[in-house]
Copies of this chain bind each other. A is one copy, B any other.
Amino acid sequence: MLSIGKLSAATGVKVPTIRYYEQISLLPEPKRSGGNQRFYDHKALERLRFIRHSRELGFSLEAIRDLLSLSDNPDQPCAAADAIARAQLAEVESRLARLMALKTELQRMVVQCAGDTISDCRVIEVLSDHAHCLTDHLVGDDALPLAGGSQPLPADAL
List chain A positions with a Cβ less than 8 A from chain B. Answer: 12-14, 17, 46, 49-50, 52-58, 67, 70-71, 73-79, 81-82, 84-86, 88-89, 92-93, 95-96, 98-100, 102-103, 105-107, 109-110, 113, 115-121, 123-124, 127-130, 137-139, 143-148, 151, 153-158
Contact = CB atoms under 8 A, between A and B. Distances in A.
A107 to B, nearest CB: 6
Contacts of A58: 102
Given A53-B128, A103-B96, A128-B53, A17 B121 contact: no
Contact of A77 (B12, B82, B116): B116
A115 B76 CA distance: 11
B88 A92 contact: no
Contacts of A148: 156
